[in-house]
Structure 1
């Protein structure tokens, strides 16, 4: 037995040494010394020995034709269209699902959980698609998204629905993430912002279709039917892209471009190889760290003792403090592990120290935190305060999505022409702050809905510009090998911001709305406070102007103002994030190889 273990130990050491030799040191970031790079400037494409997923996509790009590439992008566009329609429809129906279970306030807690898990899951997905390949990772995300939709269509209790939402959002965010990595794999850096803008255009179309579809389903008792329809559509529309990638892979294998996997490894050697490549210690430390830091946000702002203890007491609870401390220690441990202990780094240490990537992470975190401080209950606010229909609520609610997607195309063209991404961000940031500040006085029941819409438009133009710029900033200083993980880090920043913002929103909502509904109700009707707080459908049963409706309207207004004040207070961090960026010139920086855009 000892001899067997000794032999396996030596085999493992040989594999580790081979991996160390074949994984080169980090490629330094492109210099920006004030001069325009020459057309064949810094080559940051992958070196000869790199991860399987990156090598494979470069091999595919070397054998496919321009026509095949355009076909692939057309299929990506169709997938984005169906995914956007799916998200617009189901998100419009979600408040009514929660209300059916008499737990409308659960929206914030569910959003925190989906943001935490959806954001952290991008890190293992990044490693998965680098080790196994882009098609395999995308297929796995399609399966999860479909499973979540099936569970939502079949659920009959709130616990199942929350679990289905978590599975669905991991799959949905994963699909979106892998498709963006695919676009990054197949575009030059200077053209990438424009391609991202084109890919977001389907959201403009579906913003008008989704809410109308949700209204149609709700009025015909088809609340769960919509989930079932998209459970069928999702695998159908994604299959052609997977078939295209797999067929191109066979072509590359026939041409000898893709190196065959070693056949002389034993099963144990293969397991050791993939375990080392995946870096499970680093993965465990970083995922556990962020989950343990963010999960207390949900526990401290929800639970059965919500009314018996103050918010400060809940934050000072021993279990909350313990989780936060363990989370911070896990993140610190991850940094030490990546710096000195990992045989194959999960995230190259040079990327963790890069100010442009860190600034993009900080901007994403601050922007989404500010946005989700008030956005989760905005659709409910519109219906209760302004008496809008589901369809019209969806249109107003999605002004931000429409505007940010429309503006992303000219912003992409602008970035390509001026060869920079920092200047547009510095222009858009003051507008984003101004739009948030103007929302505060207009969150009053006496305000006109036109003022609310105007603020949404201003924030959409600024927000769409900032999102495109932060994505390019996150990728600009790395090489092809780090594209997936860099994109995941920026995405993690947005999900952390979403989770924190949703937790703040939930805390303000649960501590404000029920108290003020009861305060504004006449004494003989105070018994209705719990019903009005727990179900938006119950609120809408009362006509505008009635005592019950007006009490709820005033309570919603107080809560939204408080949410927006907090949302404005976090935006200075966004200014600091953009200030950290290097003003890199994009043209001539080569990150990818083969037939690309």
Structure 2
């Protein structure tokens, strides 16, 4: 089969790599797809200044992303409360996390087939659409839909920046470079609270989302331009020669329908959404768990997930999940760890910002400071972990002997410390311990997943890891919402004095109503006790799931990252 016929049939890349003029036959990966080869061509021809500029631009983009994500996390309870639906705060994230995480695999296909800048541009579009929809939403349903667009874009952008980092850094330095790109969270943690407060007291939360829609476009376009410029430079220098496909529109549609495994994606996303939503919606049904809606959702979700497994095994021409990668115990263990960490995180973090405001009486700014301790500490300590990995050439021992045990102990302490009568200093102590341990585990599990494969599969492996993360977050958010909707209103009925029982629906639905009752009054004390009971069960669940961390880490191979080269071209 000659090259032209191969391209037309969809079996060959649309970019032909010429033989390097300097005789370096290993400049490009022989079996790599177009996106990987384009990236290798870019790193071959760009200068050191452009490499530095790329990391500066990625740092700035992460800075803006961190500002908008952090401030939005503070604003969401007020948004849902404005629609009298504070209890749906966790619900707004569930579908967004599922879809945002699962779509990383087709995004990986876009990055590998078409190119990194093209995939990055797609994430910008989704993120901006989400921000615009949030700015203009008229009810909580539209806001939840906007969250889907937002998190697809946000997760996709973070994921794409991770791929850029992996493409442009050597394996021994990659842990540190991942930490460097994430380091803006150290700064933004102290800014998000004041930003959220300023918008709430000023033009309103709608203007916040509108302003960041514009700012996101402004800061992201220069990175796209940088990579596009160097790709064009590679073409002009004859390093790569673009070849146009001769497929017709219908042939291309059929080819990409199979290549992106559309049926598999539909079954997986639909199954997860139908299976997880009842955990947060059952409390709104008259018959609770016996409600026809809840039962039918479970049945449909189970059937779709079963259908996904059968279809992928027996009929999928291009399986959505490359199961051969999951046969590697290091990759599977890293993915399992990422899922476990996010189940736990969404459990103990559920309604945490509301807890701080209601129980400890913190304002929005101080609440953001406490909430962001995790982001600051984990990003700061991940820099140290990255240097340790570069120095020792190993990562498994750091996760096994420090990250896992400290995380387990610090989350376990929350069961006792996250109560109304416990000084907030103990909570802050736990947050600091969790931050250091969490930063360690995130860097180590990413390094484990990447080190166990080659450059061609980096995007896919990180996408699988991201999918496990999203599913873990969706499961954690669903359980958190289920605990909240079952425990909190029941405890309100138990603790609130009889003369205020009629106010419970509004207290349950609106954060501002909860805060309107002054501390020390019987109603506020009852609300605080109800928060304490709900948070206790959330923290118990978060601690139990973390017991699975140790076996997930133990199965990793003890890979020495100093001993082999994974990427090509001029890299950090």
TM-score class, shorter-chain normalisation, is over 0.9
Q: How does 1:59-70 map to 2 (within 5 A)?
A: 59-70=41-52
CA separation of 1:351 and 1:396: change in aligned 2, threshold 3 A? same
What residue number does 1:554 align with? 529
Partner Cα separation in structure 1 for residue 383 and residue 496 of structure 2: 49
Partner Cα separation in structure 1 for residue 12 and residue 208 of structure 2: 52
What residue number does 2:119 align with? 137
Q: Which segment is superposed worse, 213-222 or 144-153?
A: 213-222
Q: How does 1:568-583 map to 2 (within 5 A)?
A: 568-583=543-558
What residue number does 1:329 align with? 307
CA separation of 1:415 and 1:45: change in aligned 2, threshold 3 A? farther
What residue number does 2:467 align with? 492
Superposed CA offset, 1:344-366 (max 9, x none): 56554431211111101110111
Q: Secondary structure at the match of 2:89?
A: helix
Deviation at 1:314, TM superposition (A): 7.5
Superposed CA offset, 1:552-588 (max 9, x none): 1000000000011111111122212111111111113
Partner Cα separation in structure 2 for residue 335 and residue 77 of structure 1: 41
CA separation of 1:106 and 1:83: change in aligned 2, threshold 3 A? same
Q: How does 1:496-507 map to 2 (within 5 A)?
A: 496-507=471-482
Residues 484 and 534, structure 2, Cα contact 8 Å, conserved in 1:
yes
Question: Would you say 1:289 and 2:268 are equivalent positions?
Answer: yes
Residues 120 and 291, structure 1, Cα contact 8 Å, conserved in 2:
no
Q: How does 1:149-548 map to 2 (within 5 A)?
A: 149-262=131-244, 265-267=247-249, 270-271=252-253, 273-275=255-257, 278-280=259-261, 283-286=262-265, 288-302=267-281, 306=284, 308-311=286-289, 317-337=295-315, 342=317, 347-427=321-401, 428-548=403-523
Partner Cα separation in structure 2 for residue 21 and residue 163 of structure 1: 38
Residues 8 and 247, structure 2, Cα contact 8 Å, conserved in 1:
no
Deviation at 1:150, TM superposition (A): 1.1
Superposed CA offset, 1:197-250 (max 9, x none): 111110110110111110111122422111111011000001111111111111
Question: Would you say 1:57 and 2:39 are equivalent positions?
Answer: yes
Deviation at 1:421, TM superposition (A): 1.1
Aligned residue pairs, count: 560
Residues 22 and 49, structure 1, Cα contact 8 Å, conserved in 2:
no
Superposed CA offset, 1:494-545 (max 9, x none): 1111000000000000001111112111111100111111011111111101
Q: Which segment is superposed worse, 220-229 or 162-171?
A: 220-229
CA separation of 1:312 and 1:408: change in aligned 2, threshold 3 A? farther
CA separation of 1:248 and 1:240: change in aligned 2, threshold 3 A? same
Residues 300 and 320, structure 1, Cα contact 8 Å, conserved in 2:
no
Question: Would you say 1:101 and 2:101 are equivalent positions?
Answer: no
Partner Cα separation in structure 2 for residue 469 and residue 240 of structure 1: 30
Residues 72 and 244, structure 1, Cα contact 8 Å, conserved in 2:
yes
What residue number does 2:559 align with? 584
Superposed CA offset, 1:154-201 (max 9, x none): 222222211111111111111111111011011111111000111111
Superposed CA offset, 1:371-406 (max 9, x none): 111212000000000000000000001111111000
Residues 58 and 161, structure 2, Cα contact 8 Å, conserved in 1:
yes
CA separation of 1:349 and 1:320: change in aligned 2, threshold 3 A? closer
Partner Cα separation in structure 1 for residue 27 and residue 519 of structure 2: 61
Q: Secondary structure at the match of 1:540?
A: helix
Deviation at 1:336, TM superposition (A): 4.2
Residues 372 and 498, structure 1, Cα contact 8 Å, conserved in 2:
yes
Residues 279 and 479, structure 2, Cα contact 8 Å, conserved in 1:
no
Residues 77 and 199, structure 1, Cα contact 8 Å, conserved in 2:
yes
Deviation at 1:267, TM superposition (A): 4.9
CA separation of 1:221 and 1:243: change in aligned 2, threshold 3 A? closer
Question: Would you say 1:47 and 2:29 are equivalent positions?
Answer: yes
What residue number does 1:29 align with? none
Partner Cα separation in structure 2 for residue 301 and residue 456 of structure 1: 26
Gaps of 5+ in 1: 1-9, 24-42
CA separation of 1:44 and 1:377: change in aligned 2, threshold 3 A? farther
Residues 144 and 167, structure 1, Cα contact 8 Å, conserved in 2:
yes
Partner Cα separation in structure 2 for residue 291 and residue 534 of structure 1: 28
Q: Secondary structure at the match of 2:205?
A: coil
CA separation of 1:228 and 1:266: change in aligned 2, threshold 3 A? closer
Partner Cα separation in structure 1 for residue 396 and residue 514 of structure 2: 46
What residue number does 2:18 align with? none
What residue number does 1:34 align with? none
Deviation at 1:471, TM superposition (A): 0.5
Q: Secondary structure at the match of 1:259?
A: strand
Gaps of 5+ in 2: 15-24
Q: Which segment is superposed worse, 386-395 or 216-225?
A: 216-225
Residues 104 and 156, structure 2, Cα contact 8 Å, conserved in 1:
yes
Partner Cα separation in structure 1 for residue 216 and residue 13 of structure 2: 39
Q: Secondary structure at the match of 2:30?
A: coil
CA separation of 1:75 and 1:319: change in aligned 2, threshold 3 A? closer
Residues 67 and 192, structure 2, Cα contact 8 Å, conserved in 1:
yes
Partner Cα separation in structure 2 for residue 148 and residue 257 of structure 1: 38
Partner Cα separation in structure 1 for residue 454 and residue 216 of structure 2: 32
Per the normalisation by structure 1, the TM-score is 0.89
Deviation at 1:306, TM superposition (A): 3.0
